[in-house]
Structure 1
Amino acid sequence: MRKEVWFGLSIMAMVVVGVFVLMPPPSEMTNGHLGLLMLALVVVAIMLGFPTAFTLMGMGVFFAWLAYSSRNPQEAVGLTLDLMVQRAYAVMSNDVLISIPLFVFMGYLVERANLIDRLFRSLHLAMARVPGSLAVATIVTCAIFATATGIVGAVVTLMGLLAFPAMLKAGYNVRLSAGTITAGGCLGILIPPSVLLIVYGATAGVSVVKLYAGAFFPGIMLATLYLGYVVLMAKLRPDYAPPLAEEDRKVPLPQWATATGQSGSRNAVAGLLGALRGSHNGVSTQTLLGQLGITLLPAIAFALVMGVSYRAVTTVEKQDMTGVVQMGEGMDSGQEAGGADLAEPPAEDGLAEPPASGDLAEPPSDDKKAEATAIPAPAAPADKAPAEKTDINPPQEEAETRPAPLSYWITFGAGLASMLVFYAIFSFTRLEIFKMLLGSFFPLAILIMAVLGAIVFGLATPTEAAAMGSLGGLLLAAAYKRLNFAVLKESVFLTAKTSAMVCWLFVGSSIFSAAFALLGGQEVINSWVLSLDMTPVQFMILAQVIIFLLGWPLEWTEIIVIFMPIFIPLLAHFDVDPLFFGLLVALNLQTAFLSPPVAMAAFYLKGVSPPHVTLNQIFLGMLPFMAIQVLALILLYLFPAIGMWLPELLYN
């Protein structure tokens, strides 16, 4: 029997033995103990291979019947059936779940648009001089593609077909190559639009919009740590990731580029400008102008970004004074400037200042007394209209401006220097690589930024943005001539299959959670945790360790739908933000796809890898990336602003 099978059986044996040791005798067993027994039995049943959703439903219905039978045996069956219907209806009426099939449909369409092959090829050529360039290009491709799809199995499988043979052919270490593909493919669990975040948001009652905003930078941090590890390994162990051969770096140039480069400079801008001024060498002016326009696209984009930024940082918004009028405006024309109605009212007997007493002040004369009782207002000039009005805030045609801050000019100077360096080394070869990126990277980047930007900045709900992303996926597939009836049919079928799995999981987890609450299992766990008298830090460490260990035998779906309803009621007692807890859980659950024996990413890769690559080699390649995930989890906990600053900036 294989080692992983023994490992799984040993975990199940530990669970069963623990249940028998910790549970009281049947005569002393309460409903709360039955709830804990149900929890243990569900874990064992899932590890034995039973379908998760129907296992949750079956266990939930049976133990709910036991809970109702202990109170009212005559109505137990009816109440149990009512619970099933009510829970199923409550789940299916959740609007947040509509975004799941739309995001999944977008992912399958992007996958079938054949963009990943072009993306990997262009990125690996663009990063040819970086140590471990193939592995670096693999992680970047996985991060971009995982952001566009959010489907771990699809990313790992496709990169296993494209990048794994290329890295093995280039002499890369098998474990490093396998760990790079599996870890990069699992980034879709964390980076939005992630189905996991939608499921957690629906389970915990947390805004999916805030979860997307919070998970963006932790995902980038994790991908950056992966890249740093790969580059470091390539530097320390060149035999693990040897540099690419010269023939692998060559990019075939079109005829016009060869002709233009022979007659002038090899620099793309100088060569194109020189060809336009002098001899074309058989290249048409239209071709030269078109290529020059493509060459200048980065400079044009830089100018547009800095121009918009300059206007944003120098414009002073005027306060809206609509409705604020000058005092006295709106009176009838009889109340003139010199009229009696505008004069200061005479002091009443009880409101007048008392006269100074004793020898401290001279007694006022009769004339001064008269001045004190009535102060005449100055008469209005005769040549002016009596009811002339003035506006204290006349409308201005343009808003006032202020000088740009120093940070803007520093950014502008750094960007300008980067542009100059970029164009100084921008050869015709790099122009061809840039055009390859235009055809693969930028369409995906625009789609991703449109979807996530609409969600994060409040322009659309997650469901509306998912619908927009599905339309973008259709347009991409059509633009690359991959949209046909067979592709559309397969995408719809896979979307329906995945969505049905997620929805049935929600129904099963809802019934299971209701039965667990009826039996009092939640109260037992709450009492036990509170009796430990832990600090919030100790509780967070305990929760994350439990989730990390659960990721070994279970997948993230089971952990979210079964165990999150147990942890979430405890967060308020320890003053833990459910949003921050969700970010930690999402980062922690990366291990669910990278930890044996149920590391699904390893099995996805093994299914498409050459026969000489063993499952143990793939598992060993995953271990360093699991350590990086633990490091990222610690960094996020020590510096919560990594994940929380963007939601607080946008929504507080």
Structure 2
Amino acid sequence: MIEWIPLLMFVVVCLVLLSGYPVAFALGGTALLFAAGGMALGAFNPADLTFVPNRLFGIIENTTLMAVPLFVFMGVMLEKSRVAENLLSSMGRLFGPLPGGMGIAIILVGALLAASTGIVGATVVTMGLLSLPTMLKQGYQPQLSTGLICATGTLGQIIPPSIALVLLGDVLGNAYQEAQLKQGLWSLDTVSVGDLFVGALIPGMLLVGLYLLYVLIVSLWKPHLAPAMPRDEHAASDWGSILKGLLPPLLLIAAVLGSILTGKATPTEAAGVGAFGALLLAAGHRQCNLAILREVVRATSRVTAMVFMILIGASLFSLVFRGFGGEEAVHHLFDAMPGGVIGATLMVMLLIFLLGFILDFIEITFVVVPIVGPVLLAMGLDPVWLGVMLALNLQTSFLTPPFGFALFYLRGVAPAEVRTAQIYQGVVPFIVIQLVMLGILALFPALATWLPDTLYG
């Protein structure tokens, strides 16, 4: 019976999360209830709970996690500094007269915003407010328009700097060290957030390329779905204003990612550079008064508190799960699967994809990855490749109906004539594209590992 307790824990916590109970307390509360029941049955050693203070202190002194509030601050500040509005205006004037031009502009703006903010909700809401009414007015199909906005808004999950990659890097770094210890390797290497940032660059750009290819095919095959903007409504391109809209975010991206790629700064230090750069951009747009600063700081505090409370609850859940022998049960399950490491990896990817229908990426990162990560890494998988694969898979958690967060964000700002069913239909092709990208990365792991190996040896 005891070997079924970890599985029952996992099922119960998923049910509690579906009830809408706060995530951090759902994780911690479930763990404490199972620990109390296990002690009553003699199936759980209460001494395991004495490791909780060490876990909490480890979270407090983890300098990598300092990047989370800094990147959140950067993203929220850029949201208020009208960067997205200027980018959309510039790109719309540049590509609008072409078939599918507005779609191309949306994808490129989404990629630039992902690389400069990494905040999915802000990107989807901003582009939904600014571009969706224009696209519908120009005759774009509602499904294509909404799918484009939702899909490009989620690029912040895979294109660095990404909060998802920061959290995954921290979790996988700990998992990799555990896997090495189990193999008797005392000289510990590790995987860093910087490694994941570099490893995600090529897959992220390829995903953007696949989105662009899809829009080009649709616009050439069925031009009425993505018509060009009429010439008489399109002002002559003003390269000065276009460059004014493009240069600030490009410079910020170069400062943040360039400092990481060249080894001049750690991701945490680069996050500080990004936060300061966002302040300068906001000041340059005259959007840096006391009221805006207060709003940005409050939003940053709320998101940061949520992330760290979930991390604390997940640490307690992971501790009790392992106390019941959950990690050994997962290891035995993977060993018994046909196909060895390939079969185990496929099962984990399928599990994460399905959980993305009901759980947020933060919950999956903190609940599932610490359980399966050490086992997969001990089976010989490359940690950077695994991290990028997980990030791509977690990206679908924002798109998959019926609980995809990007769908909710867009539904909240979309015009009334756009039906929810149309939004759901619109994201289906982009979910397929993401799955294709996962398959490409599975067949060609060097897409994620070549750049880190080249830069860092």
TM-score category of the 2 structures, normalised to the smaller one: over 0.9
After superposition, give the CA deviation of every residue in 1:478-536 in whole Å (9 maximum; x if it has no partner). Answer: 11111100111111000000011111111111100000000112211211221225333
- Match in the other structure for 1:123: 91
State how far apart, in whole Å, the 1-side matches of 2:323 and 2:49 are.
Answer: 14
Shift of residue 87 of structure 1? 2.3
Which of 597, 601, 609 aligns to 2:402? It is 597
Please give the secondary structure, in 1, of the residue aligned with 2:14.
helix
After superposition, give the CA deviation of every residue in 1:420-443 in whole Å (9 maximum; x if it has no partner). Answer: xxxxxxxxxx4x2x2112211111
Shift of residue 596 of structure 1? 1.0
Q: Does the CA contact (< 8 Å) of 2:43 and 2:324 recur in 1?
A: no
Q: Does the CA contact (< 8 Å) of 1:131 and 1:234 recur in 2?
A: yes
- Asked if 1:203 corresponds to 2:162, the answer is no
- Asked if 1:237 corresponds to 2:237, the answer is no
Shift of residue 97 of structure 1? 0.6
Which of 266, 270, 273 aligns to 1:465? It is 270
State the AA in 1 paired with 2:341.
Answer: P
Matches of residues 248-263 of structure 1 in structure 2 within 5 Å?
248-251=233-236
TM value normalised by structure 1: 0.66
- Match in the other structure for 1:149: 117
Shift of residue 86 of structure 1? 3.0
State how far apart, in whole Å, the 1-side matches of 2:403 and 2:448 are.
Answer: 28
Shift of residue 52 of structure 1? 1.0
- Match in the other structure for 1:418: none
State how far apart, in whole Å, the 2-side matches of 1:244 and 1:108 are.
Answer: 31
Shift of residue 611 of structure 1? 0.9
State how far apart, in whole Å, the 2-side matches of 1:439 and 1:462 are.
Answer: 27
Shift of residue 40 of structure 1? 0.3
State how far apart, in whole Å, the 1-side matches of 2:337 and 2:79 are.
Answer: 49
Q: Does the CA contact (< 8 Å) of 1:64 and 1:80 recur in 2?
A: no
- Asked if 1:178 corresponds to 2:140, the answer is no
- Match in the other structure for 1:86: 54
Aligned residues: 440
Shift of residue 142 of structure 1? 1.1
Shift of the 130–540 alpha-carbon distance from structure 1 to 2, 3 Å rule, reads farther
Matches of residues 563-602 of structure 1 in structure 2 within 5 Å?
563-602=368-407
- Match in the other structure for 1:162: 130
Shift of residue 69 of structure 1? 4.5
Matches of residues 629-640 of structure 1 in structure 2 within 5 Å?
629-640=434-445
| TM-align CA RMSD | 1.6
- Match in the other structure for 2:354: 549
- Asked if 1:34 corresponds to 2:19, the answer is no
Matches of residues 102-501 of structure 1 in structure 2 within 5 Å?
102-205=70-173, 206-251=191-236, 430=237, 432=238, 434-501=239-306
State how far apart, in whole Å, the 2-side matches of 1:219 and 1:130 are.
Answer: 25
State how far apart, in whole Å, the 2-side matches of 1:210 and 1:536 are.
Answer: 23
Please give the secondary structure, in 2, of the residue aligned with 1:576.
coil
State how far apart, in whole Å, the 2-side matches of 1:535 and 1:523 are.
Answer: 16
State the AA in 1 paired with 2:148.
Answer: T
Q: Does the CA contact (< 8 Å) of 2:337 and 2:344 recur in 1?
A: no
State the AA in 2 paired with 1:39.
Answer: F
State how far apart, in whole Å, the 1-side matches of 2:435 and 2:14 are.
Answer: 24
- Asked if 1:49 corresponds to 2:34, the answer is no
Shift of residue 600 of structure 1? 0.8
After superposition, give the CA deviation of every residue in 1:544-595 in whole Å (9 maximum; x if it has no partner). Answer: 1221111112111111111111211222443111211111111111110110
Please give the secondary structure, in 1, of the residue aligned with 2:403.
coil
State how far apart, in whole Å, the 2-side matches of 1:248 and 1:571 are.
Answer: 56
State how far apart, in whole Å, the 2-side matches of 1:609 and 1:229 are.
Answer: 23
TM value normalised by structure 2: 0.93
- Match in the other structure for 1:285: none
After superposition, give the CA deviation of every residue in 1:413-463 in whole Å (9 maximum; x if it has no partner). Answer: xxxxxxxxxxxxxxxxx4x2x211221111100101110111122101111
State the AA in 1 paired with 2:149.
Answer: I
State how far apart, in whole Å, the 1-side matches of 2:149 and 2:246 are.
Answer: 19
Which of 428, 441, 444 aligns to 1:623? It is 428
Moved more, 635-644 or 207-216: 635-644
After superposition, give the CA deviation of every residue in 1:218-260 in whole Å (9 maximum; x if it has no partner). Answer: 1111111011101110111111011111122223xxxxxxxxx
Please give the secondary structure, in 2, of the residue aligned with 1:218.
helix
State the AA in 1 paired with 2:86.
Answer: R
Percent identity over the alignment?
40
State how far apart, in whole Å, the 1-side matches of 2:205 and 2:16 are.
Answer: 36
Q: Which has the larger radius of gyration?
A: 1
- Asked if 1:62 corresponds to 2:33, the answer is yes
State how far apart, in whole Å, the 2-side matches of 1:517 and 1:438 are.
Answer: 54
Q: Does the CA contact (< 8 Å) of 1:91 and 1:510 recur in 2?
A: no
Unaligned runs of 5+ in 1: 1-28, 252-429
State how far apart, in whole Å, the 2-side matches of 1:152 and 1:214 are.
Answer: 20
Unaligned runs of 5+ in 2: 174-190
State how far apart, in whole Å, the 2-side matches of 1:65 and 1:85 are.
Answer: 18
State the AA in 2 paired with 1:474.
Answer: L
Shift of the 574–82 alpha-carbon distance from structure 1 to 2, 3 Å rule, reads closer
State how far apart, in whole Å, the 2-side matches of 1:630 and 1:81 are.
Answer: 40
State how far apart, in whole Å, the 1-side matches of 2:32 and 2:137 are.
Answer: 54
Q: Does the CA contact (< 8 Å) of 1:139 and 1:227 recur in 2?
A: yes
State how far apart, in whole Å, the 1-side matches of 2:60 and 2:228 are.
Answer: 53
Q: Does the CA contact (< 8 Å) of 2:129 and 2:413 recur in 1?
A: yes
Shift of the 114–474 alpha-carbon distance from structure 1 to 2, 3 Å rule, reads same
State how far apart, in whole Å, the 2-side matches of 1:593 and 1:492 are.
Answer: 25
Shift of residue 71 of structure 1? 4.7
State how far apart, in whole Å, the 2-side matches of 1:452 and 1:53 are.
Answer: 31
State how far apart, in whole Å, the 2-side matches of 1:60 and 1:471 are.
Answer: 40
Shift of residue 81 of structure 1? 6.2
State the AA in 1 paired with 2:54.
Answer: Q
State the AA in 2 paired with 1:62.
Answer: L
State how far apart, in whole Å, the 1-side matches of 2:270 and 2:340 are.
Answer: 40
After superposition, give the CA deviation of every residue in 1:25-82 in whole Å (9 maximum; x if it has no partner). Answer: xxxx21x311211110001111111111110011112223334445599x94xx5764
State the AA in 2 paired with 1:161.
Answer: L
Shift of residue 117 of structure 1? 1.1
State the AA in 2 paired with 1:35.
Answer: P
State how far apart, in whole Å, the 2-side matches of 1:217 and 1:131 are.
Answer: 27
After superposition, give the CA deviation of every residue in 1:126-154 in whole Å (9 maximum; x if it has no partner). Answer: 11343211111111111111211111100
State how far apart, in whole Å, the 2-side matches of 1:528 and 1:216 are.
Answer: 33
- Match in the other structure for 1:528: 333
- Match in the other structure for 1:258: none
Q: Does the CA contact (< 8 Å) of 2:79 and 2:122 recur in 1?
A: yes
Shift of residue 640 of structure 1? 1.6
